[in-house]
Amino acid sequence: MEKTIKINLGGVLFQIEEEAYRMLRDYLQSIDNKLRNVPGGNETIEDIESRIAEIFQSQKDLAGIITKENVETMISIIGTPDAFDQYEETASGYHTSQSEKRMYRNPDDRIIGGVCSGIGAYLNTDPVWFRLIFIIFTPVFLIGLFVYLALWIALPSANSDSQKREMYGSNFYRSGANIQGKTSEYPYSSKVGSAFNQVFRAIGKVLFIIVRIFLIIIGVTSVLAGFTTLFSFIIIFVFKYPGSFSIDAGEFNLAYLPDFLNYIVTPAMVPLMTALIVLIVAIPLLAMVYGGIRLIFWFKVRDGYIWLIGLIVWVLCVASLAIISFNEGVSYAERGKTTSLEYFGPTPDTLYIMTGKKISDMHADKEISVTDNYYRIYIDDENDLVYIRSRLDINPADNNSIRIEIERESSGTSRLDAESNASRLNYDFKIAGDTLYFDEFFMIPPDSKWSFDEVEVNVFIPEGTIVSMDKTTEKMCHSYYDYDYVKDPKNRFWIMTEDGLDYIESAD
């Protein structure tokens, strides 16, 4: 079924077929052009419009839809605007607006965009010369091509009769463009010119096909790229498919972004930020898919507003996300550190350093590593726990007692805030006899955000002390600079020297 359009004409509503509508619109436009500048012209236009409404009412069919035939009949009754002034004074001044010439693109005689043909009509010259000029200047730094494209964009297409009249000026009737349904023969063509024009027309067709193929390739690529990206995006975010890889993945894992956001921003902001991120990613991808489909099938839709809305929404999303992120970022603006010191009684001959609570004993749903492999965040969804691997550093002491220094570091809106955040980090260690127990991790207090918290344990041991560590501690102690330090897993004895711990060769 043909598309119909609702219009209001002289205060009466009509349903009109699309083609009939275009015809009516052009007709009204031509009347408007004719009478606009005449004294009392607007009133006359209104009178004519209500008469048209009356004619339509008397002849519309049972369905009540105005067809092309109805419009044609109406025009034959009212007459074309040219016929109006057969009885009018010619000195009324509105003839100037009719004979005024304007440059248009000519849609009836075009090879690419009708630019040359339009210039030809404007200058009363065979368009073939302009075609030649553009072709000659195209190899010169593509000047011809760019000028052509610029004119294509700048010049309007002469679609309506009145525009055609303006385009041809006084040659309108010679051009034949005024006869319904007939494409205009160019009034200036010479024989040589028309032969050239034939050649150009053929070249134009080939060029058009090449451009179409090219556009289709771009379209297909765009659809495929957009679609696959969108697809993997959905898989990752909605179904969290690569979650299984994340335990070993050294990289920051996108799949947990929404979960991760929970720990770094105000929880209330999480749904909003997730939505914004989804829109920021999805809108360009959808645009790629849609744009690609349009390029492939080359259909004409008035979708300018869709693109505009999409662009506006996208820009708004980016702006909102930037503002929110900035506000959230303020809470990480300052770093703060607290240090607590413990002294260990008399130095034993052999000091044992063991792991207290181990990460391997904890339940972790997600594991996220940030910046380097050592710093790892473990998230236990069930118990809503976040724990992070702590660092351990063993150094020679400058006196005869063992000293333990716990450095807690965190971020906050101010240094004081950061320091208070740091002091709330849960880290446990134990001293029992000649043994030190250090936890492998520290915990962020419940209902607290993650703010790049760090805990570093520094143990200062007097030179000459024998140190024995369990495997996890050794890993904690050295992993961030040398994984291969432990050569023999059975022998775990070290001696503190001036330069730090030294490995003791196995005695037995």
**Rounded to an integer, what distance in angstroms lies between the CA atom of residue 291 and that of residue 310?**
12
Shortest Cβ distance from residue 51 to another protein (Å)?
6
Alpha carbon separation from 24 to 27, 69, 161, 337 (Å, rounded): 5, 11, 11, 78
Query: Which residues does 409 contact at the CB level (< 8 Å), separation at least 6?
Result: 335, 336, 337, 422, 452, 453, 454, 455, 456
Based on CB atoms, which residue is closest to another protein, 48 or 128?
48
Alpha carbon separation from 115 to 104, 269, 448 (Å, rounded): 7, 54, 67
Alpha carbon separation from 370 to 200, 232, 252, 379, 471 (Å, rounded): 63, 23, 6, 13, 24
The residues of the shown chain that bind another protein, judged by CB under 8 A, are 10-12, 31, 35, 38-41, 43-44, 47-48, 50-51, 53-54, 57-58, 76-81, 83-88
Radius of gyration for the alpha carbons in the chain, expressed in angstroms and rounded: 41
CB contact at 8 A, 208 and 112: yes
Based on CB atoms, which residue is closest to another protein, 79 or 500?
79
Shortest Cβ distance from residue 24 to another protein (Å)?
14
Shortest Cβ distance from residue 87 to another protein (Å)?
4
Based on CB atoms, which residue is closest to another protein, 162 or 472?
162
Based on CB atoms, which residue is closest to another protein, 86 or 371?
86
**Rounded to an integer, what distance in angstroms lies between the CA atom of residue 33 and that of residue 429?**
91
Distance in angstroms between the alpha carbons of the first and the last residue of the chain? 97
What DSSP character marks residue 498? Answer: T
Shortest Cβ distance from residue 178 to another protein (Å)?
16
Shortest Cβ distance from residue 45 to another protein (Å)?
8
* 3-class SS of residue 437: strand
**Rounded to an integer, what distance in angstroms lies between the CA atom of residue 16 and that of residue 7?**
7
Shortest Cβ distance from residue 9 to another protein (Å)?
9
Shortest Cβ distance from residue 25 to another protein (Å)?
17
Shortest Cβ distance from residue 11 to another protein (Å)?
5
Based on CB atoms, which residue is closest to another protein, 83 or 301?
83
Q: Which two tokens stand for residue 112?
A: 């690419």
Shortest Cβ distance from residue 171 to another protein (Å)?
19
Would you tell me how many other CB atoms lie within 10 Å of the CB of residue 301? 7
**Helices (H), ranges, 5-140:** 18-35, 41-59, 68-78, 81-84, 95-99, 115-123, 127-137
**Rounded to an integer, what distance in angstroms lies between the CA atom of residue 486 and that of residue 391?**
18
Based on CB atoms, which residue is closest to another protein, 32 or 463?
32
Q: List the beta strands (DSSP E) in 400-479.
A: 402-412, 429-432, 435-438, 441-443, 454-461, 466-469
Shortest Cβ distance from residue 117 to another protein (Å)?
31
Q: Output b/e per residue, 191-229; b: 16+ Cβ within 10 A.
A: eebeebbeebeeebeeeeeeeeeeeeeebeebbeebeeb
**Rounded to an integer, what distance in angstroms lies between the CA atom of residue 75 and that of residue 89?**
23
The separation between CA 361 and the C-alpha centre of its own chain, rounded to angstroms, equals: 43
Based on CB atoms, which residue is closest to another protein, 88 or 384?
88
Based on CB atoms, which residue is closest to another protein, 90 or 383?
90
Question: Phi, psi (5° rounding) for residue 246?
Answer: -70, -25
Based on CB atoms, which residue is closest to another protein, 74 or 402?
74
Based on CB atoms, which residue is closest to another protein, 48 or 155?
48
Shortest Cβ distance from residue 119 to another protein (Å)?
33
Side chain identity at residue 271, one-letter code:
P
Based on CB atoms, which residue is closest to another protein, 76 or 360?
76
Ramachandran class of 369: left when φ > 0, alpha when ψ lies in -120 to 50, beta otherwise: beta
Shortest Cβ distance from residue 73 to another protein (Å)?
12
